[in-house]
Structures are given as C-alpha cells and as structure tokens.
Copies of this chain bind each other. A is one copy, B any other.
C-alpha cells in the first residue's frame, strides 16, 4: 500500500468517505487510491470553488468533513473564496492538496508555489507530509483537527499537503482509536455559568444563538421555553451557517443586515447573552456609523463559546429556569401562492408554499435570504445561509447538501451575480443527479452594490459606475447556461409561470434551474 492509498483508507476508517475532486497530475496516485477504495465516493467538479463550497454544504448537513482533492497552490487558490465562507460557517472540511515530490520543489517548476502560504488564511490546521509512512498519522491528525472544537475563527478546515513522493512511497493505514472520539467532544459549559445566566435573563434580554443551538431540535425547543418563561427575545446572527426551522419550532428571528437596522433593534436591549455567537458588528464600515453594534449600557454576557457545547447549554439553561412550559409555536399554514408579477417576496412565498417538508434551502443573496422569514413559519426545513459574504457559495453548498442528504429536496436561491462565480456546480449536479432546484433571482444587476453606492450619498449614478453594477448588455441566459451543463432550465416572468415550473421541478427527480426574471 502506498502513501496515497493509506490516506484514502485512513479517511474512510474515520468516516470520511466523500471527496469533491478536481485533480491534476500531482494527484494521480490519489486517483489510483480512490479507484482502489470503494468506500470513498469521488465527485468530480470542474472548478475548485465548487469542490470547497460543496464540501462546506456536505459538512454542514453531516457534521462530518468531506474532503476536497486539489492541484497545488493554484487549485487551492481557486477554492479560497468558498473556504472563506466555510471557515465562517465553522464547518469541518479537509483539503487534500497534491504537491510536487519534495526533492522537486527546489527546481521551481512552473506550477511550484508556496501552498502552505495559500492555505494559511483559510485553514485552522496545515501540514505538509514529509514521509510516506507518516501519511496515515498525518491524516488522522487532519480529521481530528477538522472535528476538534475550537474558538479559532478559521473554523474546522484542515489542509493536508501531499508531496507526490509521499503518495507513491510505502505507507500504512491508521485505524480509528478510542482516543479519537474524546478529542472531538465539545467542552460543557460549567453549571455556575448556566445559573448566572438564568439569574439575569428577563424581557429586556436578547439571546443571540449560533452553532449547534440552531441545529439540534431539543436546543431550539429549549430556546422557545426560555423565551416563554422570561420574555427574552431570540435571534440568530445575520448570517448563520445552518438553522433548523419550521412551524413546529419556536421562531428565532434573524438579525437584519444594515447597521442602522441592528442599532434600532438593539436600542431596547439591556442584556445581550451570547450563545455560540459573536456580538453583532457592522458587515462593512460606514462613515458616521459605529462598527460595534451593541449599544452603550447594554450588558454583554457569554453563555457558551463556539467551541463549547452550545446546544446542551441551552437545554441546561431551560432547566435552570424551570422553563418547562410549551413555547408558543406559530403553527403556520402554507400561504396561498401569490399571483401576478414576480418579485423576491413572491418567490419566497411560492417556495414556502410548495417546498416539501424536510427540504434543505441554501441562499447566498439578499433576495434569496429574505425567504427565511417566510419559510421558518410555514415548512420544516434546514436553512443554509451564506456566511462569509463571498457570493458564489450557495450553489455549491446546495450541491454538497444534496449529496449528503439525497432523500431531501434541496433548493438553491441564488442571485444572478453570485451564481456566475461558480456556475460550474450545475454540471456536477447533473452528473450526480443531485436533487437540487436552483432559482436564479435574475435582476440583471449587482443590486446590493447599487444600494450600497447610493448609501454613499450619491443620488445620480454615472454611466461608468452604473456599468459596473449592470449584468445586462448582454443579458445572461440562465436556461442556456443550465442546459449547456446538462440541467433542464426554464424561465419564469410571472408568479403563475414560476409556480408551475417550481411544482414540476419538485415533482421530477434530479436538478432543475428556474430563471426568475425580476
């Protein structure tokens, strides 16, 4: 067994068995190993940002890392934007990056680059293997680091760089040992902290919740009980990685986007309790607005850090408060689908009306993101948000989620600008017959930029500036872009058309794309 095979077999022994791959010559022994190890599923992507985004979506749904397989620093570089999002999501992920043989690096051949330097801004753990016999142990460390609870803002991304001679040299597999599980268990929050929090929560308190507090149903139910008992308000950050939501669960509102909106909301908050979340800050800096959005006089307490057991802390807090009463639940009914002209609001209502129970919804634009408020009141689903602000995440994240959960209908709600960065996810969705329905909010502009430009105080946008926000001239034809990559595509200009096309996409297996012309 060579080093490459020891890597793949060690991964599968640890439950890591999906690889989003875009290999090159330096990864040929790894391809050979994938061919030899049936337990590893390899999914080809035609651009590395699709690999990293899909691995993020997979990890958000599974709680286990997928791997990428990337080609030296240039391949890893193409994956950086979605690794940035993944790092903000705190998703476990393992990059496997092939490199030249160790003795070849000094020749500075054309593809040679400083891979560790490329990896550094987006990795919590980096190692370049130095011997083929050590690759198995390096792999265990990579998996452990990806799953280890950590306060590090670079999340759970491990990057293992494999020189070609460590691939082709003799290797050995490392089995999973009992020590492994101990090292990945999050720290419990001390009882004294739970009790202290219980004493201070009241109607003027905001619980800001993230991480497992938004993912595990008992924790979410506990938040509703806490709110019912104390009158506190419940919020997620503006960009949570994943929220389990639906009419049977208590409503946890999402913080708005613009700083003045958050400031207005926070004005009446006297106590902010952070539960796996960070205190709210402005997404961008603006002249004459603060960056830190907690008002003077508001007391900030941390119930649980992101590396601690956030979900259990919420359940313990409910117990400490004797908050056993059933929380009020919205028991929403499916709204009737709207009719007439299409808008982001109408799309949200139609998706909320038609999405099957237990759907997964990924969004990476303002238009798509606005669907959350409707959907959490109408249909049980997992919501996957853009996290790091780098648009182009949503399509790959939906693809990875659909591969993690093939029985759950998955929706990608994407702006046209954002979807272009990583349009290649469509091809992989077609190849894998992934059950992803992609909705393109086709407003033919970078709408957020025009909004932000006007916030500078500019009332008249000159033609040269306007051209930089404009995605028309030429108009993108999303049905052709989808069909070019094997995905059936349709175009909707009215609610009725959109409703009919969405209904058909849901009824049929495999990927679909609907261009919703706004």
Contact = CB atoms under 8 A, between A and B. Distances in A.
A35 B84 contact: no
Interface stretch (A343-351, A373-381, A422-430, A499-507): A422-430
A282 B84 CA distance: 33
A24 B470 CA distance: 13
Contacts of A111: 84, 283-284, 388-390
Given A111-B388, A483-B477, A81 B75 contact: yes
A46 B461 CA distance: 20
B285 A100 contact: yes
Nearest to A117: B121
Given A421-B47, A431-B474, A453-B31, A77 B73 contact: no
Contact of A387 (B101, B110, B387, B424): B110
A74 interface: yes
Assembly stoichiometry (copies): 2
A285 B283 CA distance: 45
A121 B100 CA distance: 16
A44 B78 contact: no
B285 A164 contact: yes
Given A110-B389, A285-B100, A427 B476 contact: yes
A430 B477 CA distance: 13
Contacts of A477: 483-485
A467 B22 CA distance: 11
B121 A121 contact: no
A16 B456 CA distance: 26
A378 to B, nearest CB: 27
A133 interface: no
A77 B81 contact: yes
B32 A453 contact: yes
A84 B78 contact: no
Contacts of A458: 32
A471 to B, nearest CB: 7
Interface residues of A, number: 98
Contacts of A42: 464, 467-468
A200 interface: no
A5 B421 CA distance: 28
A494 B488 CA distance: 28
B46 A108 contact: no
A421 B71 CA distance: 13
A456 B28 CA distance: 8
Most chain B CB within 10 A, of A29, A35, A453, is at: A35
B78 A81 contact: yes
A114 B118 CA distance: 11
A34 B468 contact: yes
B74 A80 contact: yes
A426 to B, nearest CB: 10
Most chain B CB within 10 A, of A21, A120, A122, A389, is at: A389
Contacts of A100: 284-285
Interface of A: 21, 23-26, 28-29, 31-32, 34-36, 38, 42, 44, 46-47, 49, 73-75, 77-78, 80-81, 83-85, 88, 100-101, 103-104, 107-111, 113-114, 117-118, 120-122, 153, 164-165, 168, 239, 278, 281-285, 287, 291-292, 387-390, 417, 420-421, 423-424, 427, 430-431, 448-449, 452-453, 456, 458, 461-462, 464-465, 467-468, 470-471, 473-481, 483-486
Given A28-B449, A431-B473, 5 more contacts: A44-B467, A46-B417, A117-B121, A427-B476, A480-B483
